[in-house]
Amino acid sequence: MKHPLESLLTAGGILLMAMLSCLLLPAPSLGLALAQKLVSFFHLMDLNQLYTLLFCLWFLILGAVEFFVLRFIWRRWFSQAE
């Protein structure tokens, strides 16, 4: 019998792997001119706030990509359910 929280634990584990990937993969680096334009466009206080948002988005995007890639691989080659 499957545990009712198995899908939640699976997604959490994949997001944890994405966090580790964020530590290994460099986040996008903006030039100073572009970063200052984005700070003024989004009405942010300083560059620290911009890069905090950038790193959060980077983490979420990597987590989503890893989740869908690993889910595809699992369903395609390893799943026993036919």
Spell out a b/e string for 23-48, using b for 16 or more CB atoms within 10 Å of the CB, else e.
eeeeeeebeeeebeeebeeeebeeee
pLDDT digits (tens, 9 = 90+) for 6-46: 788 777 877 777 777 777 777 778 899 999 999 999 999 99
Residue 7 lies in a domain: no
Residue 42 lies in a domain: yes
The Cα–Cα gap between 28 and 57 comes to 11
pLDDT digits (tens, 9 = 90+) for 37-51: 999 999 999 999 999
By residue range, what is the domain housing residue 53?
A: 30-82
Q: Residues 6 or more apart from 21 whose CB is under 8 A from it?
A: 62, 66
Q: How many domains does the chain have?
A: 1
Closest of 64, 51, 56, 50 to residue 18, by C-alpha? 64
Q: Please tell me the pTM assigned to this model.
A: 0.65
Residue 6 lies in a domain: no
